[in-house]
Amino acid sequence: MSGRISDSTVRRLSLYLRMLRDLERAGVEFVSSSQLAEPSGATSAQVRKDLSHFGSFGKRGRGYSVDGLVRALENILGLSRSWRLALVGVGKIGSALLGYGGLAARGFDVVAAFDVDEAKIGTRAHGLRIRPMRELRPVIAECGAEIGVVATPTEVAAEVAAELERAGVGAILNFAPIELSEVNGVPIRTVDIVLELEGLSYLMSESGRRTGSDA
Amino acid sequence: MSGRISDSTVRRLSLYLRMLRDLERAGVEFVSSSQLAEPSGATSAQVRKDLSHFGSFGKRGRGYSVDGLVRALENILGLSRSWRLALVGVGKIGSALLGYGGLAARGFDVVAAFDVDEAKIGTRAHGLRIRPMRELRPVIAECGAEIGVVATPTEVAAEVAAELERAGVGAILNFAPIELSEVNGVPIRTVDIVLELEGLSYLMSESGRRTGSDA
DNA sequence: CCGCCCTTGTGAAAGGTTTCACAAACCAAG
DNA sequence: CTTGGTTTGTGAAACCTTTCACAAGGGCGG
């Protein structure tokens, strides 16, 4: 088991965990791979293959213990602890993140916020004091943030990511529409809304072209 | 050429187009597949393969005409026109989207906004009047929005997506942390921040486990 | 016009992911 | 204890994506 695990497998594990938590809350004790597969659009074989990379969690003929699998997946995904986030850029997206309770609820606490705007520095946003960029390194070191969040304009995103990496974060979540290259093995995930919209644009144009020439 | 194009190919095409636009602004006339590949982390062969699905755009020995390829990619991706977005849910994320100039700049205009909150209805957010859900269908029909954006709480996301589909949108962008199943061939893209963070959590735990047992 | 250098476009090979299909295992009932 | 119904875990097959490698084509200097 367990070689290099693909991105898509990890995504699905997260989705399985979500469903399992719902089931746990509902008091369900056992679940089969096919039930688990449904909400994420996977197949039962895929569920079993995904889990098999990490061990043997089910009972043949019975399925998986909901509690047991929740704990196992929390361990695999590193979600049996909580993570501290440092946010850079308290603009539209940054503020939305600060106000979004869903993060803290799932174990991702924003513990520091930074901006370059003098007017914002010192003020509080959702209970968090906004600090100047100059304090980025010492504050991150002090509060021990593990994940850096880049919510700045595109032009400075790469530089900010590099600075976060130097400050010691172990991973970066980037909202700027730019592909940041991973340095020093610090993984980066980019959330690029325009890219998603352009993907939809392609699909709509495609289907238009198809039906257009068919009809 | 042109069979079924994979998602990752379309993503890369968007990235190529971004770079090409920068080059165009900089006055560059020709570009090679390897230059084009660099910023998106692809290889030159991949660039050529991606483009070859749609036709033959380059000149051997010379590379691609920047202008020509910009136009070609805009056509392929459906970006030679602009698209109208209808936003449902003017909470934290919805407001951030309304205020984000990057969308309109790239041809995605939010033309209608809806919410259930009586206190918000009738007020204006970034110049757009917030309307009650009851008006969703007629307003979308009237203004001809092609893309629906779901920025509601998770519990109602599926229902809202279905309602958008009935209202006639051709695609849906979903910000709720739930996997929505495509109906009637209306494509859905989900932006799930928690999922991204959990992916990073996995990678950090992984590397911790690895270095932990190695050292 | 010729020859050289460069880059594309593309089959073929390699690499990776998903699906299939079935033996092994488990539970419950009799 | 045995039988039957059910579901896991997993090699093998199918499928899809990426990389390789090279012939074909184009421009430029001489």
Domain ranges of chain B: 7-77, 83-195
Q: Is 60 exceeded by the pLDDT of residue A30?
A: yes
* CA pseudo-torsion sign B138, B142, B148, B153: negative
CA distances from A185 to A100, A136, B195 (A): 29, 21, 20
* Rounded Cα gap, residues B89 and B3, in angstroms: 37
Q: How confident is the model at residue B152 (pLDDT cuts 50, 70, 90)?
A: very high
Q: How far is A39 from chain B (nearest CA, A)?
A: 7
Per-residue model confidence (pLDDT) at position B170: 98
Question: How many beta-carbon contacts under 8 Å exist across A and B?
Answer: 168
Most B CBs within 10 Å: which of A10, A174, A203, A214, as the mutation test of the B interface?
A: A203
Burial of B55: CB neighbours in 10 Å, binned 0-12, 13-18, 19+ = exposed
User: Which CATH superfamily includes the segment(s) A83-195?
Assistant: NAD(P)-binding Rossmann-like Domain (3.40.50.720)
* CA angle (B54 as vertex; B73, B148 as ends), nearest 5: 55
> Which candidate from B11, B179, B201 shows the least CB-CB separation from A78?
B201
Neighboring chain A residues of B147 at a CB cutoff of 8 Å: 197, 200, 204
Per-residue model confidence (pLDDT) at position B2: 72
Does residue A65 reach within 7 angstroms of strand C, measured from its CB? no
Neighboring chain A residues of B5 at a CB cutoff of 8 Å: 202, 206
Cβ distance of A189 and B199 shorter than 8 Å = yes
pLDDT digits (tens, 9 = 90+) for B40-56: 999 999 999 999 999 99
Q: Is 60 exceeded by the pLDDT of residue B215?
A: no
Does residue A82 reach within 7 angstroms of strand C, measured from its CB? no
Q: What are phi and psi of A199, to 5 degrees?
A: -65, -40
Average pLDDT, chain A: 95
Neighboring chain B residues of A76 at a CB cutoff of 8 Å: 202, 205
Closest to B85 (Cα-Cα) out of B167, B156, B196, B11? B167
As a whole number of Å, the CA-based R_g of chain A is 21
* Helix, strand, coil content of chain A in percent (nearest 5): 50, 20, 30
Q: How confident is the model at residue A173 (pLDDT cuts 50, 70, 90)?
A: very high
Q: Is 90 exceeded by the pLDDT of residue A205?
A: yes
Q: Is 60 exceeded by the pLDDT of residue A79?
A: yes
* Rounded Cα gap, residues B76 and B71, in angstroms: 9
- Cβ atoms A147, A173 nearer than 8 A: yes
* CA angle (A71 as vertex; A67, A74 as ends), nearest 5: 135
Cβ distance of A193 and B171 shorter than 8 Å = no
Q: How confident is the model at residue A54 (pLDDT cuts 50, 70, 90)?
A: very high
Q: Is 90 exceeded by the pLDDT of residue B214?
A: no
* Rounded Cα gap, residues B155 and A137, in angstroms: 39
Per-residue model confidence (pLDDT) at position A213: 52
* Rounded Cα gap, residues B135 and B169, in angstroms: 15
Choose between A214 and A63: higher pLDDT: A63
> Which candidate from A7, A177, A206 shows the least CB-CB separation from B102?
A177
CB < 7 A to strand C: residues 86-115, chain B? none
* Rounded Cα gap, residues B103 and A177, in angstroms: 11
Across residues B181-194, what is the average pLDDT?
95
Cα A180 from chain centroid?
16
Structure tokens at A13: 């594990």
Measured CA B26 to C1' C19 distance, in angstroms: 48
> Which candidate from A173, A177, A203 shows the least CB-CB separation from B197?
A173
Give helix B66-77 / helix A193-214 axis angle, nearest 10°. 70
Q: List bases, strand C, within 7 Å of protein CB.
A: 5-11, 16-21, 24-27
Say which CATH topology domain B7-77 has: Arc Repressor Mutant, subunit A (1.10.10)
Task: Please tell me what DSSP assigns to residue B173.
Answer: E
Q: Is 70 exceeded by the pLDDT of residue A212?
A: no
